[in-house]
Amino acid sequence: MRILMLEGFDRGNFSTRWRTYCVGEYLRQHGHQVRYYHLLLNVDEAPVLRGLPAVVQQAALRLIAAVRAVLARRWCRWAGRVIVLNVYSSRWLTRYLNRRCGGYVYDTVDFADTEDFIRLHCAPGWRGMPQRLKMRMNYRTFLAYVDNARIVCTNNFHCIEQAGRRGRKTHLFIDPIPNEYLKPLPQREPGAPFILGWTGSFATTRYLEEYIDVLTFFTRGRGVRLELMEGEPRFAAKANATVVPWTVDNFKQHLPHWSVGIAPLPSSVPFTGKFPGKILQYMAAGIPSIVTPKGMATHFITHGETGFYANTADEWIGFIHHFIEHPEDVVRMGRNARADFEARFSLEAQMPAYEHALSLNDTGGA
């Protein structure tokens, strides 16, 4: 089948790599013709914008996205199946795609809990008003893509519930990391330093702020190292942590050497639809996790077998202590986590059901 992957991801986003490129490569290897079409460009892809003020760059990129949405119709006519990935712009495009034979698949990873993200990421009062307005407008566009899709494919239960209430067929598709992308250590060296690790972004480092006392309890004078992949430097300095720049090589090399991966979330926000992809990455790397049990986090960890759920500061301290004092549990739970990843969440485990749900093996559009 001819498949068009029409996507609006930031190309640096973790989900981009799994849901777009890894899925696309798998489909190619299984006989499909796959074409990627990026609605959104970044400044590096539009060099004429370099050096211009940021507000001008953003306005120009939005205009380019609108033009590219119009031009996308050519490739939509070529495709037997269109998969729209995380697009929240050009609402008119939903109606055009819906009129096509077979409609389109909407694959989305965000906006299941917009108000939670507004509370965390938007400044209060009038200073945060433009960003709040933009996020709520994006949410309305998100709902238009949901309402016109033949099936909604997503990585979180809350979004599935939203789509189901609106009468849409749904398919749960966890970000699919290939088995070979991250390789666990064959064995851990005796006497190796105990390393707590966290993957995220500059913006999501704020999720750690509530836990600064827990982290510094271990990083100051107790021999524990803390590595933040893409963390915010000022927070890292306060936590006595090391910031590791995100590159593919750093990602593949550092994660398997961590002792435990952490995924804390602020206690003040429900995070009903939060998908903590970092837990999946820790599992793929063969390391156990300590996790705040919110949103999709409760779908990943088996408490005491592949990691621990922690709600309070005392629980966080207790579980970190447990791993320090019981290195055999670091190994045992890490192996269990990797086995669970391979069985439930890897690209190879999920793709047969994905192809079936999206009817990608139909003869039409070949």
For the residues 281-286, what does the mean pLDDT come to?
A: 97
Average pLDDT, the chain: 89
SS3 309: strand
Strands 260-263 and 242-244, by their bridges, are unpaired
Is the per-residue pLDDT at 203 higher than 90? no
SS3 362: coil
Residue 319 tokens, joined: 């579980």
For the residues 204-225, what does the mean pLDDT come to?
A: 93
Specify the pLDDT at position 211.
Answer: 96
Is the per-residue pLDDT at 31 higher than 60? yes
Q: Report how far residue 211's alpha carbon sits from residue 284's, in angstroms, rounded to the nearest whole number.
A: 25
Q: What radius of gyration do the chain's Cα atoms show?
A: 21
Among 9-13, 117-121, 243-247, the minimum mean pLDDT is found in 9-13
Q: Report how far residue 309's alpha carbon sits from residue 14's, in angstroms, rounded to the nearest whole number.
A: 23
Highest mean pLDDT: which range of 216-225, 261-270, 283-292? 283-292
Specify the pLDDT at position 113.
Answer: 64
For the residues 236-260, what does the mean pLDDT come to?
A: 94
For the residues 90-95, what does the mean pLDDT come to?
A: 88
Specify the pLDDT at position 111.
Answer: 57
CATH architecture type of domain 2-178+347-357: 3-Layer(aba) Sandwich (3.40)
Among 63-67, 110-114, 355-359, the minimum mean pLDDT is found in 110-114
Is the per-residue pLDDT at 110 higher than 70? no
User: Which CA distances in Å does 200 have to 48, 203, 246, 349?
Assistant: 30, 8, 9, 25
CATH architecture type of domain 194-345: 3-Layer(aba) Sandwich (3.40)
Specify the pLDDT at position 156.
Answer: 85
- More confident position, 249 or 123: 249
For the residues 294-299, what does the mean pLDDT come to?
A: 87
| Confidence band for 12, pLDDT divided at 50, 70 and 90 | low
Is the per-residue pLDDT at 58 higher than 50? yes
Q: Report how far residue 271's alpha carbon sits from residue 61's, in angstroms, rounded to the nearest whole number.
A: 30
Is the per-residue pLDDT at 366 higher than 60? no
User: In which order are the strands placed within the sheet that holds 307-309?
Assistant: 242-244, 224-229, 194-199, 260-263, 289-291, 307-309
Is the per-residue pLDDT at 13 higher than 70? no
- CB–CB of 211/313 below 8 Å? yes
For the residues 11-33, what does the mean pLDDT come to?
A: 83
Highest mean pLDDT: which range of 72-81, 151-160, 307-316? 307-316
Specify the pLDDT at position 362.
Answer: 63
Express the helix, strand and coil content of the chain in percent, nearest 5 each.
50, 15, 35
Instruction: List, by residue range, all CATH 3.40.50.2000 domains of the chain.
Output: 2-178+347-357, 194-345
User: Which CA distances in Å does 173 have to 146, 275, 283, 349?
Assistant: 16, 11, 17, 11
